Amino acid sequence: MTGAALLIVAILMVGLGLSLTIGDFRRVGQYRRTIAVALACQLLALPVVCFAIVTVLDLPPVSAMGLMLLSAAPGGPMAGVYSHLFGGDVAFNLTLAAINSVLSVVTLPIVTALAVQHFLGRRDGVGLHFSEVLTVMGVVLVPIALGMLVRAKAPRLAARAEPVFRVVAVVALVALIASGFGLYFDLLVESVGTVLPAAVLFATASLATGYLAGRLTRAPHRVAVAACMEIGFHNAAIAISIAAGLLNSFAMTIPPSIYGLTILVLAAVAGLLVRRLSRPASAGPASARPAPSPPAPNPEGPP
């Protein structure tokens, strides 16, 4: 991430913290099964799905390798922002992200090494870029803790500030998307026929897998939305840092970069769709509601 992007993310995370309390994290313990299924999907199933996509679409080895790096990366920091905007359980996001980041220390090097061997014919191992992980965690956790502290010490101030930060989040996201597409427009045009379809398919599969993980484990809608965003937002920054810093390949950074842009749009579409799915039937027009049943007759007659 650039310095400007990190600053924007940090500001957005303060807004998330203003909406959280310690009690939110205690409630997450009720959804251990959903957490386990979501982790299995993100760490095990989705790398396999990604491998199938790049194989079927016959991506060039370097492009396939870049997308495989992304599939093994933990969730991105924007997942919590999107979850917050579309009614997800942000505490669930943070809990899942923390566990996933720890486990990815083991799983990411394994997936990366296997992908390097398969696509590039190399057998050298690749380790996780810890400095990038620490940077992302610091940008996420410290501002959220600051927001939670304000919420605990000055709840009235937090209640007034939180809607403002929500508006700032929407404006910042639109700016990020616009600037990203402006900076990488030529790259997107060049990759329309190869990388972009694979990125769109993988993003769609990731978002759908996350939402289904919540619904199939009978978690509440808010938790399903959080899982949808957390699993959908693979951390492109970590994948790019490994591609450029450890594998010394700029071409390999193109798929994570394209994914990082397309997921911003597709996650917004997914958020609108799941919000529509969550609307109760009672929210429809009054004419569509069944008429109330007449009262049962009194067997003893009128009073």
Three-state secondary-structure class, residue 247: coil
Comparing CA positions, the residue from 20, 33, 38 lying closest to residue 141 is 20
pLDDT at 19 over 90: no
pLDDT at 247 over 80: no
Lookup result for tokens 């080895």: 61
pLDDT at 260 over 80: yes
Q: How far is residue 133's CA from residue 72's CA, in Å, rounded to a whole number?
A: 13
Q: Which of 59-73, 87-101, 174-188, 250-264 has the highest mean pLDDT?
A: 59-73
Q: Kindly report the pTM of this predicted structure.
A: 0.69
pLDDT tens by residue, 38-55: 999 988 999 999 999 999
Instruction: Let me know: does 119 contact 61? Beta carbons within 8 Å.
Output: yes
CATH 3.40.50.460 is held by the domain 3-275: no
Q: pLDDT: is 190 or 9 the higher one?
A: 190
pLDDT at 262 over 80: yes
Instruction: Let me know: does 20 contact 147? Beta carbons within 8 Å.
Output: yes
- The pLDDT value recorded for residue 183 is 67
Tell me the average pLDDT of the chain: 77
Least reliable range by pLDDT among 19-33, 113-127, 232-246, 277-291: 277-291
pLDDT tens by residue, 158-192: 888 877 776 776 676 566 656 666 666 776 677 77
Comparing CA positions, the residue from 230, 276, 255, 269 lying closest to residue 104 is 230
Instruction: Let me know: does 182 contact 50? Beta carbons within 8 Å.
Output: no
pLDDT tier at 268, thresholds 50, 70, 90: very high
pLDDT at 263 over 80: yes
Percent pLDDT > 90 in the chain is: 26
pLDDT tier at 271, thresholds 50, 70, 90: very high
Is the four-CA dihedral 83, 176, 14, 3 of positive or negative sign? positive
Q: How far is residue 301's CA from residue 103's CA, in Å, rounded to a whole number?
A: 70
Instruction: Let me know: does 70 contact 256? Beta carbons within 8 Å.
Output: yes
- The pLDDT value recorded for residue 286 is 41
Q: pLDDT: is 133 or 211 the higher one?
A: 211
- The pLDDT value recorded for residue 222 is 92
pLDDT tens by residue, 185-233: 776 677 777 888 999 999 999 999 999 999 999 999 999 999 999 999 9
Q: pLDDT: is 164 or 259 the higher one?
A: 259
- The pLDDT value recorded for residue 187 is 64
pLDDT at 128 over 50: no
pLDDT at 37 over 70: yes
- The pLDDT value recorded for residue 299 is 46
- The pLDDT value recorded for residue 287 is 39
